[in-house]
């Protein structure tokens, strides 16, 4: 092997490697590589104990939380055994509900206030504020399955039905894409139905000031009138602090308004305190129009926001609420 006028001769593998290092040193002009390797070895020797010191407690914490999750599932073992003996999908739903409830309990200290307002039987339309990711709604669905033994049918955006692999999940949990006829059919069959009038638009474009972005949508109100069912307003405190969207930026707002594709990045997953509040049911009134009922429902959800959410939302404050029970209450 040669480099310019110099020759590098070698008789075995060790000399060959040394030759390669020497050639690289001359080419890069960095000087002896042994010095750099020794320095890296020194850094590894210094920082490895520090990394281990911090990683081991972290792994122990993860193990503890997995233990809590296991115990949370085991606590409901009798319900799960009964569910699987009756119906395979009922058992699957209760298992997933228990897992989601455990996740909400561990990661967000999730609470529901007003669960007694959800009827044990009979239909009702549940109208809620849509977070950037409606994880609070998933926790709510899980709790209704566990505490009430009922499935809340849900209305979701069309794009969700195009996501690969989601079809079975949506079918098992009775999610529909929202034609009014299907909604009325579900309610007239005695089911609970959940819908967010703001939908994906509210998920992407709303922010920590919690504006309701319903526009002139009143189809949900017409569904309630046609089905002759009450509307139950719902809001989750700090849902915007758990996950946030960049949809308010001009480019993402324009792209959504233009193409109706939810392209805005969502970030977060912060373990903030979540409290879901269910308002007083708005009873069926044959003498009210869909526009009037939509406005009345909007005011009811807004009242829950005004009563339970400090505006603007703050991630640090929401995190600190995990450690004390005080919350906004007018």
Predicted local confidence at residue 221, as pLDDT? 98
CATH number for domain 87-322, candidates 1.10.940, 2.60.120, 3.30.70, 3.40.1130: 3.40.1130
Enzyme catalytic residues: 130
Give per-residue pLDDT as tens, 87-112. 778 888 998 999 999 999 999 999 99
Predicted local confidence at residue 192, as pLDDT? 98
Predicted local confidence at residue 212, as pLDDT? 97
Distance, in Å, from the CA atom of 301 to the CA atom of 235, rounded to the nearest integer, reads 7
Distance, in Å, from the CA atom of 275 to the CA atom of 231, rounded to the nearest integer, reads 20
* Of 147, 143, 135, 79, the residue nearest 111 (C-alpha): 143
Predicted local confidence at residue 5, as pLDDT? 43
The residues spanned by each domain of the chain are 14-85, 87-322
What does the radius of gyration of the chain's CA atoms come to, in whole angstroms?
28
Q: Which two tokens stand for residue 21?
A: 């290092």
- Alpha helical stretches, state H, the chain: 13-28, 33-75, 77-86, 88-108, 135-143, 167-172, 180-188, 199-205, 219-227, 239-242, 250-259, 290-308, 315-320
Distance, in Å, from the CA atom of 43 to the CA atom of 147, rounded to the nearest integer, reads 55
DSSP, res 112: E
Give the residues of the chain that fall short of pLDDT 70: 1-37, 39-40, 42, 46, 49-61, 63-64, 325-330
Predicted local confidence at residue 329, as pLDDT? 55
Give 166-228 as a DSSP string.
Answer: -HHHHHHTTEE---HHHHHHHHHTT-EEEE-TTHHHHHHH--TT-----TT--HHHHHHHHHT
């Amino acid at each position: 092997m040669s480099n310019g006028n110099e020759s590098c001769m070698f008789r075995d593998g060790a000399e060959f490697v040394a030759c390669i290092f020497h050639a690289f040193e001359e080419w890069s002009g960095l000087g002896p590589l042994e010095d750099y390797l020794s320095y890296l070895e020194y850094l590894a020797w210094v920082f490895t104990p520090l990394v281990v010191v911090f990683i081991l407690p972290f792994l122990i914490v993860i193990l503890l939380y997995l233990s809590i999750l296991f115990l949370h599932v085991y606590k409901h073992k009798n319900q799960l055994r009964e569910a699987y003996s009756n119906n395979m999908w009922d058992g699957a739903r209760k298992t997933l509900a228990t897992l989601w409830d455990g996740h909400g309990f561990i990661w967000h200290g999730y609470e529901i206030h007003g669960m007694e307002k959800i009827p044990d039987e009979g239909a009702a339309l549940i109208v809620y504020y849509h977070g950037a990711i409606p994880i609070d709604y998933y926790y709510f669905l899980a709790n209704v399955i566990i505490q009430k033994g009922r499935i809340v049918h849900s209305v979701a955006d069309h794009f969700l039905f195009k996501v690969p692999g989601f079809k079975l999940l949506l079918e098992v949990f009775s999610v529909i894409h929202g034609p009014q006829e299907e909604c009325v059919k579900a309610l007239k069959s005695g089911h609970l139905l959940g819908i967010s009038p703001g939908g994906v638009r509210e998920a992407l474009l709303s922010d920590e000031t919690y504006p309701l972005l319903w526009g002139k949508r009143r189809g949900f109100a017409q569904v309630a009138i046609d089905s002759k069912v009450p509307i139950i307003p719902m809001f989750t405190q700090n849902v915007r602090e758990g996950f946030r969207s960049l949809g308010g930026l001009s480019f993402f707002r324009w792209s959504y308004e233009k193409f109706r594709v939810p392209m805005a990045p969502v970030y977060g997953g912060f373990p903030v305190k979540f409290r879901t509040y269910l308002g007083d049911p708005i009873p069926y009134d044959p003498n009210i129009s869909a526009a009037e009922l939509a406005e009345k429902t909007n005011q009811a959800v807004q009242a829950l926001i005004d009563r339970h959410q400090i505006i603007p939302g703050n991630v640090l404050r929401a995190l600190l609420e995990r450690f004390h029970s005080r919350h906004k209450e007018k």
